[in-house]
């Protein structure tokens, strides 16, 4: 059952990928602000940028907006930073169309969430990803987040998917280190944390990085944590994890993502904070708690100093 795999095949996506917000102004996508976000991540040295995932509010973007955001990010990135475009759907034909568009636009890879709401069984999940991977010549990162989709992608299914050449990585947000350990042992997929609070523990059992909400505001700190762990400076990595943990936890628990991260970016002067219904802004005690968390890690102070 447990066989050691060959070297991992999605290491081009190792490190810190930002699950990028989609900025809005007066109800519309703010493409100028989107381009500024790309520039900021290039300046910060972020490894990869993932537009139009859950954090990018893909459920409330029209199909035209979804494609235009991918195209705008790829065009403005201009090879300066890796782009992993969100192309998932609960409809296989729609996911295929989005993934085909991302490949044509020049994205470096596709992040595809498992089908949600319709809750296919494991064979349906396998066939969904396999059909798209076999039709589109683009590296695919499978996104497993059963808390959103209602179905875990079981290790046996991911082991089958790993046999498809261009399925190269998994964003793991099941919350199970046992599952991560099995994937590290049984597959050659690159394993990326889908939960900022579990990135360091996942590195310890075989992870290679994170697709991060927190990276919207603190990519360099996350990179330092990962590099410290990989270089054997475990105490340093642990100290960074413990400093960032309260903020990372609140970004995912004060309200549904991306409500807290957009509020944080507004407090830092980096976004309008606008959301689309049915999401509503963070307010009252929750907003004040978030402000305190930003102060505790020095982000508000750095923003005020212009850093």
Cis-peptide into 278, omega within 30 deg: yes
DSSP assignment, residue 141? E
In angstroms, rounded to a whole number, what is the distance separating the alpha carbons of residues 155 and 152?
A: 9
Catalytic site residue from 126, 171, 229, 262:
171
Per DSSP bridges, beta strands 28-29 and 24-25 are: antiparallel
Q: Judge whether 126 counts as a catalytic residue.
A: no
CB 236 within 8 A of CB 226: no
Give me the half-sphere count of Cα atoms (radius 13 Å) on the Cβ side of residue 256: 11
Neighbours of 252 (CB within 10 A): 18
Rounded CA-CA distance 162/6 in Å is 11
Please state whether the peptide bond connecting residue 258 to the residue before it is cis, i.e. omega within 30 degrees of 0.
Answer: yes
**Using CA of residue 62, residue 68, residue 71, residue 72, what is the dihedral sign?**
negative
Judge whether 119 counts as a catalytic residue. no
Helix (H) or strand (E) holding 208: none
Please identify which of the residues 143, 229, 238, 262 carries the catalytic annotation: 143
Q: Is 51 exposed, middle or buried (0-12, 13-18, 19+ CB in 10 A)?
A: buried
Contact between 55 and 69 under an 8 Å Cβ cutoff? The reply is: no
DSSP string, 117-130: SS---HHHHHHHHH
Q: What amino acid positions are annotated as catalytic residues?
A: 143, 171
């Amino acid at each position: 059952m447990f066989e050691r795999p060959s070297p991992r095949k999605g290491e081009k996506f190792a490190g810190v990928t930002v699950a990028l917000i989609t900025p809005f102004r007066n109800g519309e996508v703010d493409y100028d602000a989107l381009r500024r976000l790309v520039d900021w991540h290039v300046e910060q040295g972020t490894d990869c940028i993932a537009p139009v995932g859950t954090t990018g509010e893909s459920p409330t973007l029209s199909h035209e907006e979804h494609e235009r955001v991918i195209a705008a990010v790829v065009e403005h990135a201009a090879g300066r930073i890796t782009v992993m475009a969100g192309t998932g759907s609960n409809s296989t034909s729609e996911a295929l169309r989005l993934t085909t568009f991302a490949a044509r636009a020049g994205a470096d890879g596709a992040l595809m969430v498992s089908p949600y709401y319709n809750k296919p069984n494991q064979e349906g999940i396998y066939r969904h990803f396999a059909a798209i991977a076999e039709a589109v010549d683009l590296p695919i990162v499978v996104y497993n987040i059963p808390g959103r989709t209602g179905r875990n992608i079981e290790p046996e299914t991911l082991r089958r998917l790993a046999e498809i050449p261009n399925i190269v990585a998994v964003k793991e947000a099941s919350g199970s280190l046992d599952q991560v350990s099995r994937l590290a042992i049984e597959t050659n997929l690159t394993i990326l944390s889908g939960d900022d609070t579990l990135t360091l523990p996942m590195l310890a059992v075989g992870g290679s990085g994170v697709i991060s909400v927190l990276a919207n505001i603190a990519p360099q700190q996350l990179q330092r944590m990962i590099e410290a762990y990989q270089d054997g400076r475990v105490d340093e990595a642990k100290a960074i994890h413990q400093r960032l943990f309260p903020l990372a936890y609140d970004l995912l628990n004060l309200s549904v993502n991306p409500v807290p991260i957009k509020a944080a970016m507004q407090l830092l002067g980096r976004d309008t904070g606008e959301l689309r219904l049915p999401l509503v802004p963070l307010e009252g005690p929750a907003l004040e708690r978030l402000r305190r968390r930003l102060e505790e890690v020095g982000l508000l102070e750095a923003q005020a100093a212009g850093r």
